């Protein structure tokens, strides 16, 4: 519904069949209908808003993939910094690498924020990796704020 997916084998040589449709309550169905209406009306979806688990998981995955591509996109540029013919061109390449790295960090932060909101929301039970759900306000080496 929220992602394009394909059937993959389970490692035993047989393809996975269609998954059973989960039974949802009337209250859950009303929330899904309200959520889809909000999307149809081009409304904003905020991290604290209720949303189907599949939607949140897909959103976090897409943001993470975008962040990965930003970080990987800066790697080839970094190799050319030492080979640049002038200081001006070195500065241009450094700015480009820094810009791509910054984009990646912003996107990682957004994915962490959405995942953290999922762990704080009582209506979802998305498994979130501990390093994503943990707050980054404490320095790991000193334990100080």
Crossing angle of helices 53-79 and 87-120, rounded to 10°: 160
Supply angle C-alpha 89, 93, 97, rounded to 5: 170
Give 15's strand partners: 9
Beta carbons of 133 and 116 less than 8 angstroms apart: yes
pTM of the model: 0.61
Tell me the two tokens of residue 112: 């962490």
> Is the pLDDT confidence value at 5 over 60?
no
What pLDDT, in 10s, does the model give residues 33-71?
Answer: 999 999 999 989 888 888 888 888 999 999 999 999 999
Least confident of 15-24, 90-99, 108-117: 15-24
Beta carbons of 59 and 67 less than 8 angstroms apart: no
> Is the pLDDT confidence value at 80 over 80?
yes
Tell me the two tokens of residue 81: 């910094």
Please classify residue 115 by burial: count the beta carbons closer than 10 Å to its beta carbon, then call 0-12 exposed, 13-18 middle and 19+ buried. buried
Give all strands (DSSP E) within the chain, no chain letters: none
């Amino acid at each position: 519904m929220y992602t394009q997916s394909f059937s993959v084998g389970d490692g035993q040589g047989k393809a996975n069949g269609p998954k059973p449709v989960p039974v949802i309550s009337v209250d859950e169905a009303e929330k899904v209908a309200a959520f889809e209406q909000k999307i149809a009306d081009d409304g904003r979806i905020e991290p604290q808003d209720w949303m189907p688990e599949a939607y949140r998981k897909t959103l976090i995955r897409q943001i993470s993939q975008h962040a990965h591509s930003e970080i990987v996109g800066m790697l080839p540029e970094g190799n050319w910094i030492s080979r640049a013919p002038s200081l001006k061109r070195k500065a241009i390449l450094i700015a480009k690498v820094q810009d791509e790295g910054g984009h990646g960090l912003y996107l990682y932060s957004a994915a962490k924020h959405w995942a953290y909101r999922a762990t704080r929301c009582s209506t979802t039970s998305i498994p979130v990796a501990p390093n994503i759900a943990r707050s980054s306000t404490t320095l790991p080496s000193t334990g100080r704020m």
